[in-house]
């Protein structure tokens, strides 16, 4: 069954450093998303991406964050100048028609 | 503000019991309601509901949506210890998905 692949599965970074989280969505999907889940809290929407541009973003997704689809397969989330409170599980998801969503297995980001 | 509410937040049952998990929502531009099961890591897809009154079933799990009353239920019959997880309800709106807080289900032998 097709799946969304995320790398790395766990990343540890120092506060203030930049990180790039990578995702390979399902190949025929057109809608891409990033979510995060702080430990013990609910899954929170960050951003959606369609037709090579951001279609919606939450208030969490400020200037510290950016997304990119650098080629035909990858979808990345960049976090500049990481803060301790950015520590969370980050999930990528993709959708064929923007209705049903398939999640990747997540990247656990730990900022120290 | 868009919101998704789930109840109960936590539930402990014995193996063999039947459980009903509730999800209500207030979301503009509703497109779909989704149920996910989250164990250790990523949510895994259970159901997607877009139409009222049509029950979806998968084994011991079933779900139905009421778009007029803005809620959905997820039923699990003959629960097993492997059903222990957090069950997430999410509503797909234009461009985003809003998650509820989840119901933590523990099934004890």
Give per-residue pLDDT as tens, A59-95: 999 999 999 998 878 999 999 999 999 999 999 999 8
- Give the pLDDT band of residue A96 (cuts 50, 70, 90): confident
With an 8 Å Cβ cutoff, is A8 touching chain B? no
Task: Tell me what pLDDT residue A101 has.
Answer: 81
Query: For the purposes of burial, counting CB atoms within 10 Å of the CB of B100, is it exposed (0-12), middle (13-18) or buried (19 or more)?
Result: buried
- Residues B96, A31: Cα–Cα separation, whole Å: 10
- Residues B83, B16: Cα–Cα separation, whole Å: 11
Q: Which of B63, B58, B72, B67 is nearest to B7 (CA)?
A: B72
Closest chain A residue to B96, measured at CA: A48
CA distance A104 to chain B (A): 7
Nearest to A105 among B42, B50, B100 (CB): B42
Count of pairs with CB atoms under 8 A, one residue in A, one in B:
59
Q: Which residue has the tokens 């193996």?
A: B15
Nearest to B96 among A56, A99, A103 (CB): A56
- Answer yes or no: do A44 and B99 touch at CB < 8 A: yes
CA distance B54 to chain A (A): 17
Task: Tell me what pLDDT residue A49 has.
Answer: 93
Which residue out of A100, A102, A105, A106 would a mutagenesis test of the B interface target, given it has the greatest number of B Cβ atoms within 10 Å?
A100
Closest chain A residue to B9, measured at CA: A42
Task: Tell me what pLDDT residue B44 has.
Answer: 87
Q: Which of A99, A41, A103, A108 is nearest to B102 (CA)?
A: A41
With an 8 Å Cβ cutoff, is A42 touching chain B? yes
With an 8 Å Cβ cutoff, is A50 touching chain B? yes
Q: What are phi and psi of B81, to 5 degrees?
A: -60, -30
Q: Are B77 and B40 in contact (CB under 8 A)?
A: no
- Give the pLDDT band of residue A97 (cuts 50, 70, 90): confident
- Give the pLDDT band of residue A98 (cuts 50, 70, 90): confident
Those of residues 59-98 in A touching chain B at CB distance below 8 A are: 89, 91, 93, 98
Q: Which of B78, B49, B48 is nearest to B61 (CA)?
A: B78
Please list the ranges in chain B whose pLDDT falls under 70: none
- Answer yes or no: do B99 and A43 touch at CB < 8 A: yes
Section A27-49 average pLDDT: 92
């Amino acid at each position: 069954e097709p799946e969304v692949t995320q790398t790395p599965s766990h990343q540890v970074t120092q506060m203030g450093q930049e990180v790039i989280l990578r995702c390979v969505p399902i190949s025929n999907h057109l809608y891409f998303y990033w979510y995060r889940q702080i430990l013990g809290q609910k899954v929170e929407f960050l951003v959606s991406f369609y037709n090579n541009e951001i279609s919606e973003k939450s208030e969490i997704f400020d200037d510290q964050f950016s997304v990119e689809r650098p080629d035909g397969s990858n979808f990345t989330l960049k976090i500049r100048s990481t803060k301790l409170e950015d520590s969370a599980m980050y999930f990528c998801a993709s959708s064929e028609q923007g209705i049903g969503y398939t999640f990747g297995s997540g990247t656990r980001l730990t900022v120290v | 503000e868009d919101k998704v509410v789930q109840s109960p937040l936590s539930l402990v049952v014995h193996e063999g019991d039947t459980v009903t998990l509730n999800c209500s929502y207030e979301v503009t531009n509703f497109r779909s309601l989704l149920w996910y099961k989250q164990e250790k890591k990523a949510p895994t897809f259970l159901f997607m509901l877009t139409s009222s009154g049509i029950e979806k079933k998968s084994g011991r799990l079933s779900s139905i949506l009421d778009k007029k009353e803005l809620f959905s239920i997820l039923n699990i019959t003959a629960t097993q210890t492997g059903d222990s997880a957090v069950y997430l309800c999410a509503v797909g709106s234009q461009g985003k998905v809003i998650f509820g807080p989840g119901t933590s289900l523990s099934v004890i032998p």
